Amino acid sequence: MKWYFIDSGASTGRFNMDYDLQLANNCNNNEGFFRVYRWHPYCISLGANQKFEDINLSLAAQHNIDVVKRPTGGRAILHAEELTYSVVLPAETGLTSQEIYKKVSTSLVKGLRLYDNALSGVELEKTQPDFAGLLKDPSGVMCFASTARSEIKYKGLKLVGSAQRKMDKVILQHGSILCGNYHLRLIDYLCIDEKRKEEFREEFFKKTTDLSSILNRKIDYISLVEKLRLGFMEEWNVTLTDY
Element (H, E) at 212: helix 211-215
CA dist., res. 57 & res. 73, Å (int):
20
CB 208 within 8 A of CB 99: no
CA 47 to chain centre: 12
Other beta carbons within 10 Å of 93 = 14
Task: Kindly state the DSSP code that residue 63 receives in the 8-state scheme.
Answer: T
Give the residue among 142, 167, 9, 190 at the shortest CA–CA distance from 83.
Answer: 9
Q: Which positions ≥6 away from 25 have C-beta within 8 Å?
A: 167
**What is the pLDDT confidence band of residue 93, given thresholds at 50, 70 and 90?**
very high
CATH number at residue 100: 3.30.930.10
Q: How much is the pLDDT for 131? A: 47
User: pLDDT tens-digit profile of 141-173?
Assistant: 655 665 678 899 999 999 999 999 999 899 999
Q: How much is the pLDDT for 176? A: 97
Other beta carbons within 10 Å of 65 = 23
Provide the domain count of the chain: 1
**What residues make up the domain containing 200?**
2-242
Mean pLDDT of 213-238: 98
User: pLDDT tens-digit profile of 159-212?
Assistant: 999 999 999 899 999 999 999 999 999 999 999 999 999 999 999 989 999 999
Terminal-residue alpha carbon distance, the chain? 14
- Tell me the backbone φ, ψ of residue 7, rounded to 5 degrees: -115, 100
- Tell me the backbone φ, ψ of residue 33, rounded to 5 degrees: -135, 140
User: pLDDT tens-digit profile of 126-138?
Assistant: 986 554 555 555 5
Element (H, E) at 158: strand 157-167
In the predicted structure, residue 215 carries a pLDDT above the cut 90:
yes
Q: How much is the pLDDT for 199? A: 93
Mean pLDDT of the chain: 93
Q: How much is the pLDDT for 147? A: 65
Q: Name 174's bridge partners.
A: 86, 163
Cis peptide before 71 (omega within 30 of 0): no
Element (H, E) at 225: helix 221-236
User: pLDDT tens-digit profile of 14-48?
Assistant: 999 999 999 999 999 999 999 999 999 999 999 99
